[in-house]
């Protein structure tokens, strides 16, 4: 099965400039060699602490920021180096849902106009046909067509995120990149939005790149999970394998912090010590060795590579 999205050795480095002459004095290695693929109807959960590069991956894949290097293959075409004009047809195949549903919606436009805009920009529909399409999208995401004339401030947070989802669905994309789409919502509303995304995936065969820091949410919605640390993927597997048998110490620590609903099931806590190192000055060797309870001398000088430790389960750790 041909992947909807295939990312190969993606890098995004930001130069740091200082001084009167604005000379480059350093580099932020925000994303430093990330690879993954997403099949039709599949959800890849991308998890990690704040600042590990998850959102930068999302924006780079969508070409909202330009990649430093690497390949972003959509429909068999590498879009990483395409011009804006050449990229335009691929915009219809990939849409994005942002974290904050209020700041991502134009407060001067009605909800109906927000959802209608992609149809007009891409010359998909106009006039009465566009109105009917927007009304159908509102119903599809659980909103009343009668609310099309309301403005974003007249909706709740969950309703605003449904508007964002309706806008993303307007062009019938194959892939939706969801950058922490429920983290700004109440827990009860989170469940409703997650269930909506899963229903849409089942009905339309959508592929998702789902970015989050809540591992319980990721376990619920994802088929595969990639764990990021300091700009790199350190573990990648199907969700059952990763949650039951984590192979990287960082993944173990993240999972130990997930609340367990059954009080009889006690999970040994493995708290992470220290802070995430600066992406301007990543540690030599394994980037996680400064916080890893198992680190050995080799970890401080030699960077581990992703190795397959079980069928479909890869991790970057010298100790496995």
pLDDT tier at 112, thresholds 50, 70, 90: very high
Q: Which domains does the chain have, with CATH numbers?
A: 5-40+48-89+224-315 (3.40.50.300)
Write down the pLDDT at residue 267: 53
In tens, the pLDDT along 215-271 reads 888 999 999 999 999 999 999 999 999 999 999 999 999 988 776 665 555 555 566
Q: How far apart are CA 241 and CA 313, in angstroms?
A: 7
DSSP 37: E
Write down the pLDDT at residue 188: 84
Query: How buried is residue 2: exposed, middle or buried, by Cβ count under 10 Å (0-12/13-18/19+)?
Result: exposed
Average pLDDT of 268-275? 67
Whether the per-residue pLDDT at 1 is higher than 90: the answer is no
In tens, the pLDDT along 71-108 reads 999 988 999 989 999 999 899 999 999 988 888 899 99
Write down the pLDDT at residue 178: 95
Whether the per-residue pLDDT at 49 is higher than 80: the answer is yes
In tens, the pLDDT along 127-137 reads 899 999 999 99
Write down the pLDDT at residue 239: 94
Write down the pLDDT at residue 51: 86
Identify the residue with better confidence: 266 or 169.
169
Write down the pLDDT at residue 271: 63
Q: How far apart are CA 128 and CA 149, in angstroms?
A: 15
In tens, the pLDDT along 141-163 reads 999 999 999 999 999 989 999 99
Share of the chain above pLDDT 70, in %: 96
Write down the pLDDT at residue 142: 93
Q: How far apart are CA 53 and CA 211, in angstroms?
A: 10
Q: Distance of CA 86 to CAs 47, 57, 83, 258, Å?
A: 31, 21, 5, 44
Q: How far apart are CA 31 and CA 11, in angstroms?
A: 5
Q: In which element (H, E) is residue 33 found?
A: strand 23-38
Whether the per-residue pLDDT at 176 is higher than 80: the answer is yes
Write down the pLDDT at residue 99: 87
Write down the pLDDT at residue 120: 93
């Amino acid at each position: 099965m041909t992947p909807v999205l295939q990312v190969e050795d993606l890098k995004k480095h930001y130069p740091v400039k200082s001084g009167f002459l604005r000379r480059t004095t350093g580099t932020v290695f925000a994303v430093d060699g990330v690879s993954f693929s997403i099949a039709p109807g599949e959800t890849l959960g991308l998890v990690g602490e704040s600042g590990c590069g998850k959102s930068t991956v999302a924006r780079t894949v969508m070409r909202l920021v330009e990649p430093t290097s690497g390949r972003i293959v959509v429909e068999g075409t590498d879009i990483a180096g395409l011009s804006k004009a050449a990229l335009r047809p691929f915009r219809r195949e990939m849409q994005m849902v942002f974290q904050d549903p209020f700041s991502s919606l134009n407060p001067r436009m009605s909800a109906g106009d927000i959802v209608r805009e992609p149809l007009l920009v891409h010359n998909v529909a106009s006039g009465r046909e566009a109105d009917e399409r927007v009304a159908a999208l509102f119903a599809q995401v659980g909103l009343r067509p009668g609310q099309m004339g309301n403005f974003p401030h007249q909706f709740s947070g969950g309703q605003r995120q449904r508007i964002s989802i309706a806008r993303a669905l307007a062009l019938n994309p194959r892939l939706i990149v969801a950058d922490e789409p429920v983290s700004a919502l109440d827990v009860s509303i989170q469940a409703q939005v997650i269930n909506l995304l899963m229903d849409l995936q089942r009905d339309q065969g959508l592929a998702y790149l789902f970015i989050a820091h809540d591992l319980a949410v990721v376990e619920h919605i994802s088929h595969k999970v990639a764990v990021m640390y300091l700009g790199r993927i350190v573990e990648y597997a199907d969700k059952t394998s990763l949650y039951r048998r984590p192979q990287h110490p960082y993944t173990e620590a993240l999972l130990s912090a997930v609340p367990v609903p059954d009080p009889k099931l006690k999970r040994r806590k493995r708290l992470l010590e220290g802070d995430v190192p600066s992406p301007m000055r990543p540690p030599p060797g394994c980037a996680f060795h400064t916080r890893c309870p198992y680190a050995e001398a080799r970890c401080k000088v030699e960077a581990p590579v992703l190795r397959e430790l079980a069928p479909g389960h890869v991790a970057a750790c010298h100790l496995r």
